[in-house]
Amino acid sequence: MEVVFAKYQGTGNDFIMLDNLDGTYNKLSLAQVIRLCDRRFGVGADGLIRINAATNYDFEVDYFNSDGSKSFCGNGARCAVAFAETLGVPVAHTNFMAMDGEHRAFKLNGSVKLEMKDVLHIEQLGSDYILDTGSPHYVHLTEEMEKEDIRSFGKKIRFSERFHSQGINVNLLEEKDRDHISIATYERGVEDETLSCGTGATACAIVYGALKRREGLHEILVDVKGGQLQVGFSYDPANGFTGVSLTGPAEFVFSGKIRI
Which residues have a catalytic role annotated? 73, 197
Q: Which residues face 142 on adjacent strands? A: none
Q: Rounding to the nearest 10 degrees, give the CA dihedral for residues 204, 48, 6, 35.
A: 130
Kindly list the distances between the CA atom of residue 179 and the CA atoms of 116, 135, 171, 213, in Å, as whole numbers in the listed order. 19, 23, 17, 11
- b/e sequence 94-106, b meaning 16+ C-beta within 10 Å: bebbbebeebebb
Helices 74-86 + 198-211 axis angle, to 10: 130
Q: Which residues face 245 on adjacent strands? A: 115, 232
For CA atoms 179, 184, 188, 189, the dihedral sign is positive
